[in-house]
Amino acid sequence: MGSLARNFDFNKIYASFLSEEIGLMSANAGPSPIILCCLLVVSLSAVAQQSQPQPKKIFTPEQQEYQQELKEFFAKRESLQAEAKRPFDAEMLRENAGACHKAEGTYAFDECDCQDAKSTYDFNVCYGKETSITSQNLKDYEEAISKLLALKYPDFPGLPAINAPGPVGSDLTAEQNVSEFDKVKQAWHSYMDAACTAALHRYGGGTGSPSFEMECRLRLMRDHMRELNFIYSLMLHK
């Protein structure tokens, strides 16, 4: 009880002391050396408390495993993004090397690929080779996209997988994303077959029909690679 009384008296004395010092500070239009000293002591005490080392956070085995899974996930995604980039860049370079130029004053394009062909036979052979290369690049690009869609983001340990619906619906699972892409791929290839068959028929069964059909496939495949690059850009470039 005596200790409490002494502490209480000390607090009253200290408060009275500060009150007098503040009054002097106001009267003299400036802080007294004693007040400055008190403020310095308080500041140094606060700095000392802040500079004390914080205890190192210890992760549970489950959290450590989750960190490793995250590391592997991002490394795999980066690898697959590079895998997708190779055929896309290669095909865009091939197209640019063809030096397509729109004929002045028209909506028609000059011949781009197979510019050195001199006969119908040359065009058929050349477009056959060019279409084969582009078809393989598109296939490699589609496979890389499918692998990226199949990647599963690791679940945080101790928490159930969250798939809360957004404003326009729920997010798809990895399996659903792959299934959706397969449908897109199948539908587009069916469209290309139908469209380029129509191109074949524009020549009425003449000798120019095969090369025109192959040129149709060549252009549509390149356009489709750009479409896929746009549709899946967040996954391919982030």
* Residue pLDDT, tens place only, 10-22: 455 444 554 555 5
- Whether the CB-CB separation of 84 and 144 falls below 8 Å is answered with yes
Domain check: are 29 and 70 in the same one?
Answer: no
Please give the pLDDT value at position 224: 97
Please give the pLDDT value at position 34: 58
Please give the pLDDT value at position 32: 56
Domain check: are 135 and 44 in the same one?
Answer: no
Q: Look at residue 17 and tell me if it is in a domain.
A: yes
Range of the domain at 93: 61-155+170-237
Domain check: are 105 and 14 in the same one?
Answer: no
Domain check: are 12 and 43 in the same one?
Answer: yes
As a whole number, mean pLDDT of residues 134-157 equals 94
Domain count within the chain: 2
Q: pLDDT band at residue 46, thresholds of 50, 70 and 90? A: low
Q: pLDDT band at residue 2, thresholds of 50, 70 and 90? A: very low
Domain check: are 12 and 95 in the same one?
Answer: no
Q: Look at residue 71 and tell me if it is in a domain.
A: yes
- Whether the CB-CB separation of 144 and 87 falls below 8 Å is answered with yes
Domain check: are 132 and 90 in the same one?
Answer: yes
